[in-house]
Amino acid sequence: MHIVFPVNQRQAIRRGFNAPSTFKYDLDIASLTEAERYALSLCFEDGRVDSSLTINEPTEAGVRDALRRFALEVDAFRSELEQRFSRKEVEGPRLFGDSFSPEWQRDVRQEWEQKPEVKAWLDEVKKT
């Protein structure tokens, strides 16, 4: 599947890559882990990935690294969301047992990412 990924040009410069603003890559979806496929589905639309998932290097390794990092972020977010839901700090539609609708997850994720401690953690994850 051909997917267009946004390139984090600041990181590309730091790593010594002369990179365009986007990178088109033929990704074998079957080779991804379930967590990576789920994370990709959250930010994928019309053959493009939105800015919540950027790659640091316009290479296959850069795409794989970005998917791994983003899957970690999504997993941490889902864990936080489950905890908040169980403590009844947030309410929202529960669909299909343990899943939440993608739109609702996106809204809560944006709120979660604004927390100073989460911003600091995400910055550290993105540097690796």
Whether the Cβ atoms of residue 101 and residue 74 lie closer than 8 Å to each other: no
pLDDT score of 13 more than 90? no
The neighbouring-strand residues paired with 23 are 5
pLDDT of residue 120: 74
Closest CA to 49 of 40, 62, 36: 40
Domain ranges across the chain:
2-127
The model's pTM: 0.61
Q: Which residue has the higher pLDDT, 115 or 16?
A: 16
CA 75 to each of CA 19, 46, 70, 79, 115: distance values in angstroms, whole numbers, following the listed order = 29, 24, 8, 6, 17
Q: Who has greater pLDDT, 122 or 20? A: 20
Kindly report the backbone phi and psi dihedral angles of residue 99, in degrees, each rounded to the nearest multiple of 5, phi listed first: -95, 155
pLDDT band at 26 (very low <50, low <70, confident <90, very high): very high
Tens digits of residue pLDDT in 60-115: 898 999 998 888 888 887 777 777 766 665 555 444 344 556 666 677 777 777 77
